[in-house]
Structure 1
Amino acid sequence: MTSGKADEPPEKKPGGSPRVLFPESAAPEPVAAPKDGNQPKILFGAPRAPTPKGDRPRVLAAGEVRQRISCGVADLRGMDANATEAVAKAALRIVDSTNLDDHYFDDVVRFGAALQTEHGRLAESELEIVSSEVVAEGRRFAAGLLQRLTDLDPDRVFSVRGGFLNTVKALAAPRDPAGLFSRLYPEVRALATGLNVLAPEIVAVAKQVRAVGKAYKSLSNNLAGHILAGRFLVHHISSLQLSDRERQAHYASQSEALETRTSSLSATKATVEMSIWTVAAVSQEIEALARLAEGLLQEDLPAWHAAYSAALTAQSAEQARTTVPLRDLHTRILGKLKLERNRP
C-alpha cells in the first residue's frame, strides 16, 4: 500500500517562494475585447494597422532599393518637340522599365532588339508580296491589254485624210479595220478573262499589303518611343555625379551602350520609313489591278465591243472616228490600264 503522503501537497522549503515562470512585468498589455464578436482574437500584443504600400513597386538592385529615374511626359517632349504625346508616353514606360543597375547590362544590350527582329520579319513579308506570282501575272495581263487596246485606238484605226496630221494618221492606219478588230478582240477578251480569274487572289494580296503597311506604321511609332527613351537615359546618366567611382564607371558604360543601340534603332527607323512609302505605292498598284479586274469583263468590254462594232459598220470613216460612245469607253479603259501601269 502506498503512503497517504502521496496525496498531500509538496513541502515548501523554509524561507522559499514558489517559482514564477512569467512575471507580471512580462505580461502582455491587456487587449480590449472587440465589440464585434466576428473579429479575430489577438492573443499576444496589441493589433496594429498594416503599413500602407507605396503606389509604385520597390525595385531592388544588389539588395538595395533602386531609386526610380525622375522622368515625365513633359521632360521627354522637351527633348523632342516633334514627339507626339503617344510616343512620349511609350518612351516614359520604357524609361521606367529600364534597369541601369543590372551588372549584366541586360536591358541595355537588348534595348529595342525585339523591334529590329520585327522589322526583319516585315521586310521578308514585303519582299514576298512584291515578288508574288499572282501580282506578276496580273501585271502581264494588264500590259497585254494596254498594248492591244492601244493598237485598236479609234483615232488611229478610223483616221481620215485631210490636213497634215490626219494624213500621217491615215498612212499609219491599218488597211482593214474590221480584220484588225476580229484578230485582236479575242486576245483582249482572253487577257481580261485571265485577269478576272486572278481577281480574288489579287484582292487577298492587297489585304496583305495593307496589313504590312499598318504594321510598319506601328513599328515606326515604337521605334520613335525607344529612340526618345534612349536619348533621355543617355542625358540622365551624363548628369550623374556619384562619389562611388565604380558605380559611376558602370553607368558610363551603360551610356555608351545606349548610344550605340539608339543609333542602330535610328537607322532601322529610317529604313522603316522608306518601306512605308514603298508598301503604300505597291498597295496602290495592286488595288488598281483589283479595281481593273472588277468591272472590265462584265461591263466595260461588252459596251466597248458594241460601240466598236457600230463604228465598223458606219457609212464613212469620219463618222466612225467621231463616234462619241466608242471614244469615251476606249479612253476610260485605257485610263484604268495606264493608271495601273504608272504605279511605282
Structure 2
Amino acid sequence: MAPVDEDERSGPKVPFRGDAPAKAPKPADGPKVLFGTARAPRTLDEGPRIIGGGVARRRISCTVEDLRALDPLAAESVLRQATRAVDAVNFDDHEFDDIVRFGAHLQELHGRLAEEQLALADDERLQDARRLATDLVVRLGELDPEHLFSPGRGFLGGVRAALSRSAEAESFRERSAGVVRSARVLKERRQAFAELEDRATSLKRKLTALAAALNAHILGGMFLVRHVEEHPLPDPAAAAHHRSQKDALETRLGSLTATASSVALGERVLETMIATISGVRRFADDLVESDLPAWQTACAATLTAKSEGRPYDVSVTQGLYEKLLSTLTRRN
C-alpha cells in the first residue's frame, strides 16, 4: 500500500491536484459599489423638485403661525397636520391630482369607520344593554323615594302612587326583588358588555383622530385658497391655472366640511352608545352586590317604620336610589 502524504491529507479537498485556492479577502465595510465611487445620497432639501417639462416646483411657505392666524382656537396637533397637508399640494401639477384628491383618503377612511359603526349599532349586545337598562330605569322609577315617602301623602297613597298596587310592604319587596333579578341578568352578561365597550371606545378614538385630520385639511385648504387669491402669478397662463385649481379646491373643501359634520354626528351617536354600555356594565360590576341590596334593605326598613308610625330618615334611601339611577343613565 502506497504511503499517504500528510500534507495532502491536512489541506482542503481540491478536485484536481495542485495548490489549494487562496482565501478570498474580507470585503470592506460599507455599501458595495459596482461602478464609480460611493457617495451619500442627496437630501430633498438640496434642490427643487422638478416636475413635467423641466419646470421647478414653486413651494408655498406655510408655518404654524400662518395657520393660527386663520384659526386661533385650533389645537397644536391640528396646525401641524395642516402644514403637512399644505406641503403635499403641488399647484404646478397640470394634472390637478393633488387638488382632486385633496383629503380623499380621509373620506375613504370615514366610509370604513361608518360601516364599523353601523355594525356596532346592530350588535345584539347593544340591543340587550339598551333593553335591560330601560327596564331597570322604569322599575327604579316606580320606587322613587321622593314619591314613595312623600310627606304630603298618607302611607297608603304614597305607596299606591309609586307601586300602582297595594300598600303592603310585601308588595314592595316583590317589586324590589324584580329590580334585583333584572340587575343580576346584567351581571351575567358583564363580560360581553365589557368587550363591546372596548370595541366602541376604540372606534371613538379613530373617529376623534379622523375629525382632527379633517379639520387640519380644511384649515390647510383655506390657507391655500387665500394664498392663491393674495399672490397672483405674473404669467397669465400660470395664473389662470392656479385660479382653476383654487376653484376645484373650494369644491373639495365643501365636500370635506360635509364629511367633518358627518363625523361629528357619528361621534355624538357613538358617545350615546358608549354611555349605555358603560352604564349597564358599571351597574353590573359595582352595584349589584353592594348598593342595590343596601337600597332594597333601607327602603323596606323605612316603609316599615312609616307604617308603624316610628320616625324615619329618607336621606340614606334617596342617596342610594340616585346613585343607582345615575349609573344607568350616566347623569353623574
1:229 is matched with which residue?
A: 220
2:83 is matched with which residue?
A: 92
1:34 is matched with which residue?
A: none
Shift of 1:275: 3.1
Q: How many angstroms apart in 2 are the aligned matches of 1:222 and 1:276?
A: 14
Q: How many angstroms apart in 2 are the aligned matches of 1:206 and 1:83?
A: 30
Report the TM-score, using the length of structure 2 for normalisation: 0.72
* Residue 242 (structure 1) aligned with residue 230 (structure 2): no
Q: Deviation per CA, 1:53-108: give whole Å up to 9, x if none.
A: 67355311122322322333332323333333332322222222212222221111
After TM superposition, the structure 1 = structure 2 runs for residues 236-315 of structure 1, keeping only pairs within 5 Å, are 236-238=227-229, 239-243=231-235, 245-307=236-298
Shift of 1:146: 3.4
After TM superposition, the structure 1 = structure 2 runs for residues 178-189 of structure 1, keeping only pairs within 5 Å, are 178-181=169-172, 183-189=174-180
2:157 is matched with which residue?
A: 169
Q: How many angstroms apart in 2 are the aligned matches of 1:191 and 1:147?
A: 11
Equivalent position amino acid for 1:241 in 2: L
Which residue, 123, 126, 136 being the options, matches 2:114? 123
State the secondary structure of the residue aligned to 1:60: coil
1:328 is matched with which residue?
A: 316
1:19 is matched with which residue?
A: none
2:32 is matched with which residue?
A: none
- Give unmatched runs, 5+ long, in structure 2: 1-36
State the secondary structure of the residue aligned to 2:50: strand
Larger Rg: 1
Q: How many angstroms apart in 1 are the aligned matches of 2:253 and 2:268?
A: 23
Q: Is the 8 A contact 1:196 1:297 kept in 2?
A: yes
Change (3 A) 1:180 1:150: farther
Equivalent position amino acid for 2:90 in 1: N
Q: How many angstroms apart in 1 are the aligned matches of 2:146 and 2:266?
A: 42
State the secondary structure of the residue aligned to 1:102: coil
1:198 is matched with which residue?
A: 189
1:78 is matched with which residue?
A: 69
Q: Which moved more, 1:216-225 or 1:80-89?
A: 80-89
Shift of 1:323: 6.0
Shift of 1:338: 4.8
Equivalent position amino acid for 1:136 in 2: Q
Q: Deviation per CA, 1:313-333: give whole Å up to 9, x if none.
A: 7695333x8266xx6246414
Change (3 A) 1:80 1:150: closer
Equivalent position amino acid for 1:59 in 2: R
State the secondary structure of the residue aligned to 1:68: coil
Q: Is the 8 A contact 1:304 1:329 kept in 2?
A: yes
Q: How many angstroms apart in 2 are the aligned matches of 1:51 and 1:172?
A: 87
Shift of 1:114: 0.9
State the secondary structure of the residue aligned to 1:66: coil
Change (3 A) 1:178 1:338: same
Change (3 A) 1:132 1:167: same
1:105 is matched with which residue?
A: 96
Q: How many angstroms apart in 2 are the aligned matches of 1:171 and 1:307?
A: 15
Q: Aligned-pair RMSD on alpha carbons?
A: 3.5
Shift of 1:196: 0.7
Change (3 A) 1:329 1:216: same
- Give unmatched runs, 5+ long, in structure 1: 1-46
The count of aligned residue pairs is 289
* Residue 142 (structure 1) aligned with residue 142 (structure 2): no
